[in-house]
């Protein structure tokens, strides 16, 4: 084939993920016959326009925004490979209709995110921000306004029990927790029994957990899923941890729960708008740990994301069905099948 398989690399990789991009291009793509890759220009909102997408067979997406408008007249594109697992900035039905597969990288994210959750759970339990501040300012343990608490025997809960939730419970199995509970309409008790997880309703997760974690996608069903009534159900000694997506939680309700001490504290890696405004009321509170939606952003995560995304793209380049497809319907779509057929030649 004289015309190579063209991979478009979304603009934001060059500013946000230059090192892992370089790693992946060198390890996975350089020297593969028939493969070419180049920058995909996007606008200030990271929106990819049809003119930009038209010449590519595949796209690496980071925070890239792809709408129905992006795909108008785009005939060649066969796959959008997102580095990561969220796809709230991508119009999935529009991709399916255009015969484009969307792939994500579940294998790469589960461990780093799970570890980020434990980092917040342990830092909150041991009150580490205050401990560090007291130790640095010449004070000592008698000056601590409260003691750290033990993890042993406590209840770990999760809103969502899919890829990341299950990995979290798997690792937590030997950390000394007393009980695991989770809610997830798409998972059966049988599927999580081996992890020791009891499936319960969402109210029970909030009412009975010592640590409530959020491990679900952001979509129409989960937007504002966590509301004031849920924080009111929580124990005053319990902690809330969100490393998933900001808009899943009603931010004002979270702020109120923390300000009025309905709960003991929170670990927040994600915000309704990112970066958050400088006057986000969370920043005034001392019972919260905030992070820049990057607590899981390890070197390994980004390299593994890129490796998994490259494997998906390379499968498509050979005319094969890739792993990690989100829109399974596309696999039967005549347009997508025709693209695979063309690539197989």
Partner 1 sequence: MRVISVPDDAPAVLGVSPSFARLRGVGEVRYFDTLPGSEAVLAERMQGAEAVVNIRSSSKITRAVLERCPDLRMISIWGTGTDNVDLDAARALGVRITNTPAVSAASIAEHTLALMLAVARRIPGIDASVRAGAWPRGGMVQLHGKTLGVIGLGEIGRRFARLGEAIGMRVLTWTMNPKPELGFAHVPLEELLAASDVVSLHLRLSEQTRGFLDAARLASMKRGAMLINTARGPIVDEPAMMAALESGHLAGAGLDVFDVEPLPPGHPLSRMENVVLSPHSAGITPEALEAGLALAVENVAAYFDGRIRNAVV
Q: Which residues pair with 66 in a beta bridge?
A: 90
Q: With CB under 8 A as the contact rule, which of the stretches 123-131, 246-254, 257-265, 315-323 interacts with partner 1?
A: 123-131
Count CB atoms within 10 A of the CB of residue 227.
Answer: 13
Q: Rounding to the nearest 10 degrees, give the CA dihedral for residues 146, 151, 152, 155.
A: 120
Q: Which CB, 118 or 231, lies closer to partner 1?
A: 118
CB of 56 within 8 A of CB of 40? yes
Q: Rounding to the nearest 10 degrees, give the CA dihedral for residues 58, 62, 68, 70.
A: -70
- CA 88 to CA 272: how far, in whole Å? 12
Q: CB of 61: closest distance to partner 1 in angstroms? A: 17
Q: Which 3 state secondary structure label does DSSP give 210?
A: coil
Q: CB of 116: closest distance to partner 1 in angstroms? A: 7
Residue in 90, 151, 197, 248 binding partner 1, rule: CB under 8 A: 151
- What is the token pair recorded at 191? 């599927």
- What is the token pair recorded at 67? 């709408």
Q: Which CB, 136 or 221, lies closer to partner 1?
A: 136
Q: Are strands 101-103 and 197-199 parallel, antiparallel or unpaired?
A: unpaired
Site for partner 1 contains 238 (CB under 8 A) = no
Q: CB of 304: closest distance to partner 1 in angstroms? A: 10
Site for partner 1 contains 14 (CB under 8 A) = no
Active-site residue identified among 245, 250, 251, 333: 245
- Give how many residues touch partner 1 by CB under 8 A: 59
Site for partner 1 contains 61 (CB under 8 A) = no
- What is the token pair recorded at 132? 């560090």
Q: Which CB, 18 or 68, lies closer to partner 1?
A: 18
Q: What is the distance in angstroms between the CA of the first residue and the CA of the last residue of the chain?
A: 8
With tokens 């601590």, the residue in question is 144
- CA 91 to CA 123: how far, in whole Å? 37
Q: Rounding to the nearest 10 degrees, give the CA dihedral for residues 323, 326, 327, 332.
A: 20
Q: CB of 317: closest distance to partner 1 in angstroms? A: 28
Q: Which CB, 2 or 15, lies closer to partner 1?
A: 15
Q: CB of 329: closest distance to partner 1 in angstroms? A: 34
Residues 271-300 that bind partner 1 (CB under 8 A): 274-276, 278, 283, 289-300
Q: CB of 16: closest distance to partner 1 in angstroms? A: 7
Chain centre distance of CA 221: 16
Q: Which CB, 247 or 281, lies closer to partner 1?
A: 281
User: Mask: binding to partner 1, 19-48, rule CB under 8 A, as x and -?
Assistant: x-----------------------------
CB of 21 within 8 A of CB of 72? no
Q: Which 3 state secondary structure label does DSSP give 172?
A: helix
Task: Check if 293 is active-site.
Answer: yes
- CA 90 to CA 70: how far, in whole Å? 10
Residue in 16, 88, 97, 311 binding partner 1, rule: CB under 8 A: 16
Site for partner 1 contains 109 (CB under 8 A) = no
Q: What are the residue numbers of the active site?
A: 245, 274, 293
> Where on the chain is the footprint of partner 1 (CB under 8 A)?
16-17, 19, 111-112, 115-116, 118-119, 122-123, 125-126, 128-129, 131-141, 143-144, 147-152, 171-176, 274-276, 278, 283, 289-302
């Amino acid at each position: 084939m004289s015309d190579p398989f063209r991979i478009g690399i979304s603009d934001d990789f060059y500013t946000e993920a230059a090192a892992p991009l370089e790693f992946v291009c060198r390890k996975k793509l350089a020297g593969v016959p028939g493969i070419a890759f180049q920058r995909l220009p996007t606008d200030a909102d990271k929106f990819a326009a049809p003119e930009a997408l038209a010449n590519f067979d595949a796209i690496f997406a980071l925070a890239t925004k792809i709408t129905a408008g992006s795909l108008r007249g785009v005939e060649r594109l066969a796959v959008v490979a997102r580095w990561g697992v969220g796809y709230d900035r991508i119009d999935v039905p529009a991709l399916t209709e255009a015969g484009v597969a969307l792939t994500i990288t579940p294998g790469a994210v589960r461990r780093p995110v799970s570890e980020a959750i434990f980092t917040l759970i342990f830092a909150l339990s041991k009150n580490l921000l205050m401990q560090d501040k007291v130790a640095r300012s010449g004070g000592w343990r008698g000056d601590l306004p409260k003691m750290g608490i033990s993890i042993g025997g406590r209840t770990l809960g999760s809103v969502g029990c899919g890829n990341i939730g299950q990995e979290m419970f798997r690792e937590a199995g030997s950390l000394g927790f007393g009980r695991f509970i989770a809610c997830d309409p798409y998972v059966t008790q049988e599927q999580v029994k081996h992890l020791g997880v009891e499936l319960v309703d969402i109210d029970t997760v909030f009412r009975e957990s010592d640590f409530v974690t959020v491990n679900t996608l952001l979509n129409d069903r989960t937007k504002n899923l966590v509301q004031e009534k849920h924080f009111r159900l929580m124990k005053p000694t319990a902690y809330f941890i969100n490393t998933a997506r900001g808009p899943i939680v009603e931010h004002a309700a979270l702020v109120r729960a923390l300000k009025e001490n309905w709960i003991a504290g929170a670990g927040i890696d994600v915000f309704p708008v990112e970066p958050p405004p400088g006057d986000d009321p969370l920043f005034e509170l001392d019972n919260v740990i905030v992070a820049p939606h990057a607590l899981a952003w390890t070197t390994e995560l980004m390299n593994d994301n890129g490796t998994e995304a490259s494997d998906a793209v390379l499968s498509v380049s050979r005319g094969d069905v890739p792993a990690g497809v989100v829109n399974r319907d596309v696999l039967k779509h005549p347009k997508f099948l025709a693209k695979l057929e063309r690539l197989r030649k």
